[in-house]
Amino acid sequence: MDFPTENIKEINWDFPGSRTQFLTHKYHSYPARFIPQIPRTIYRMLLKSGTSKVFDPFVGCGTSLVEAILSQISAGGSDLNPLAILISRVKTQPLEMNKLKNYWLDLQKIFNPDLQIYKGHQFSQRDFVFPKRHLSTRFSEDSIYIFSKILDFIENNILELDFQDFFKVGLSSSVTTLTESKKWEKVNIWRTFRPKIDSMIKIMGEFNERINSFSNQMRNDIRIADSRDLHFIPEETIDCIVTSPPYVNALDYNRIHQYNMSILGYD
C-alpha cells in the first residue's frame, strides 16, 4: 500500500479546536490516548469503508477501534492491560437499549442514593470480596463494601457478558473519579456511579444510531496479548496497523489503574 506522504505533511496532526470527547470516547479516561481525529484521518486517507480491516496492538482504551466502527471499518486490537481490553470492548459493542435500561432499573431497585443499601436484598452474605491492601489506603471499609456489592450485583444478576462489562466500565470510571477527588474520605460511590451509568446509557443510544447497522462483533477480536507475540492474527488479514506505542519510561500503567484493577478483581 502506498502511503500518501504529501497529504500527511499538509495535515495539522494536533487538530486544534477539535472535539475529542464524544460518543463512547467519553466512557472512561485513559492515559496517553489518541486524539480520535488521528486514526480517523488515517482511515480516510488509506482505507475503504466496508472492506478494510485495521489492527491496533497497543489498543489502550480503544480509540482507534471506536473510530474504525464510526468509519464502517472492521477492526481488532490487543493490549497487555486487562482494563484496556474491558474498556475497548464496551466502547465498541452496541447494546440493546431495552435490556440495558432494565438491568439498570434492577440495580437501582436494590441500591439507593442515601446509602441505605444492601438491606433486605438478595446478595449472598459473602464478605469483602477484595484483598483490601492498598485499597484501604484510599477508601474506607464502607466504601470498599459498597464497591464489592455493586460488583457482586453485576456479576451475579447480569447474565450477559457484554452487559456485565458495560456496568463494570461504569464502576471503574467512577473509581477514577473518586480517587481523583480531593475529599476522597467522604466519597459517595452511588452518587458518582448513578449519573455515570445514566450518561453511558444515553451515549449508548446515540452510538447505536450512529453506527446504524454496521456491527463488527469485535469482542473476539479485542484480546489481552503482548504485542511481541501476535501469532493469533492470520496472515494477510490486516490492511493497516494504527497504533500509539507505550511511553515506557513516562507512564506506569499498572500504578495508574491500581484501584480500578483491585475493585474489578483484576489483581
DSSP string, the chain: ----HHHHHHS-TT-TT-----GGGGS---TTPPPTHHHHHHHHHH--TTT-EEEETT-TT-HHHHHHHHTT-EEEEEES-HHHHHHHHHHH----HHHHHHHHHHHHHH--TTS--SSS---------S--GGGGGTS-HHHHHHHHHHHHHHHHH--SHHHHHHHHHHHHHHHHHHHH-TTGGG--HHHHHHHHHHHHHHHHHHHHHHHTT-----GGGEEE--TT--TTSPTT--SEE------TTT--HHHHTHHHHHHTT--
Stretch of 26-34, 101-109, 213-221, 259-267 lying at the interface with ligand SAM (CB under 6 A): 26-34
Query: How many other C-beta atoms are found inside a 10 Å radius of the C-beta of residue 163?
Result: 20
Q: Which of 246, 261, 266, 267 binds ligand SAM (CB under 6 A)?
A: 246
Under the binding rule (CB under 6 A), the answer on residue 222 touching ligand SAM is no
Q: How far is the CB of 59 from ligand SAM (least distance, A)?
A: 6
Q: How many residues bind ligand SAM (CB under 6 A)?
A: 18
Q: Is 221 in the site for ligand SAM (CB under 6 A)?
A: no
Please select the residue that binds ligand SAM; options are 15, 41, 80, 129, rule is CB under 6 A: 80
244 is a site residue for ligand SAM (CB under 6 A): yes
For position 60 contacting ligand SAM by CB under 6 A, the verdict is yes
Interaction between residue 33 and ligand SAM (CB under 6 A): yes
Window contacting ligand SAM (CB under 6 A); options: 15-23, 53-61, 111-119, 161-169:
53-61
Closer to ligand SAM at the Cβ: 53 or 101?
53
Q: Cβ 178 to ligand SAM, closest distance in Å?
A: 21
Is there binding between residue 227 and ligand SAM (CB under 6 A)?
yes
Q: Does 58 bind ligand SAM (CB under 6 A)?
A: yes
Binding of residue 81 to ligand SAM (CB under 6 A): yes
Question: Does residue 43 interact with ligand SAM by CB under 6 A?
Answer: no
* Residue of this chain nearest to ligand SAM (CB atom): 60
Q: Does 79 bind ligand SAM (CB under 6 A)?
A: yes
Reading the block at residue 9, the C-alpha cell is: 505533511
Task: List residues binding ligand SAM (CB under 6 A).
Answer: 30, 32-34, 58, 60-61, 63, 79-81, 84, 226-228, 244, 246, 253
